[in-house]
Amino acid sequence: MSVLVVLISLSLLAALGFLGAFIWAVKNGQFDDYETPSMRMLMENKKDTIQNNQK
């Protein structure tokens, strides 16, 4: 039965990882603007644009 305990603990840990990713995304501002990224992704990335956006 202890196998089950180990497995469930592991799955919970994995899930916590996803929760962490979600918290990071919110804090990073990923949910602040729903409109602009949809326009941005259609634009061609020339070299200097890429550098610019990675800053």
Partner 1 sequence: MEAIQEIHLNKMGQKQSCYHCGDTCPNSRIRIGEKIFCCNGCKMVYELLESNEMCDYYQYSETPGTTPVEAGLKTKFKYLEDEEMRRKLVNFSDGNTASVTFYVPSMHCSSCVWLLENLVRLNPLIHSSRVNYLKKEVQITFEETASTLRQLAELLTSLGYEPQINLDSLVHREDKNLDRDLYLKIGVAGFCFINIMMFHFPEYLAGEQEVESGLSNFFNYLSVALALPVLLYSSLDYFKSAWSALRSKFVNMDVPISLGVITLFTRSIYEVFSGVGSGYMDSFTGLIFLLLVGKLFEKKTYDSLSFERSYKSYFPVSAAKKTDTGETSVPLENLQPGDRILIRSQELIPADSVLIRGNALIDYSFVTGESAPVEKKSGDIIYAGGKQTAGILELDVIKPVNQSYLTELWNDEAFTKPVHSRIISAADSVSRYFTVAVISIALASAVFWAGSSWNLALNAFTAVLIVACPCALALSTPFTLGNTLRVFGWNKFYLKNTAVVEALATIRHIVFDKTGTITRSAVAAISFDSEQELSQEEASMVYSLVRQSMHPLSRQLVSYLNNSKTLPLNNFTEEAGQGISADFNGTTVRVGSARFVGFDSESGQNASRVYLSVNNRLRGSFMIYNALRPGLKKTIAALKKRFKIHLLSGDNEYERKRMESLFGRDADMHFKQSPFEKLAFIKKLQKQNKSVLMVGDGLNDAGALKQSDVGISLTEDLNSFSPASDAVLDAGSLNRLPDFIDFSRKSMRIILISFVISFIYNITGMYFAIQGTLSPLIAALLMPASSISVVVFTTGGVMFLARRMNFKLSGSGGAL
Binding test (CB under 8 A) with partner 1, winner from 3, 13, 14, 19: 19
Judged by DSSP in three states, 9 sits in helix
Binding test (CB under 8 A) with partner 1, winner from 14, 32, 47, 50: 32
Look up residue 47 and give its two tokens.
């070299």
Look up residue 45 and give its two tokens.
């990335």
Is 12 a binding residue for partner 1 by CB under 8 A? The answer is yes
Is 47 a binding residue for partner 1 by CB under 8 A? The answer is no
Is 24 a binding residue for partner 1 by CB under 8 A? The answer is no
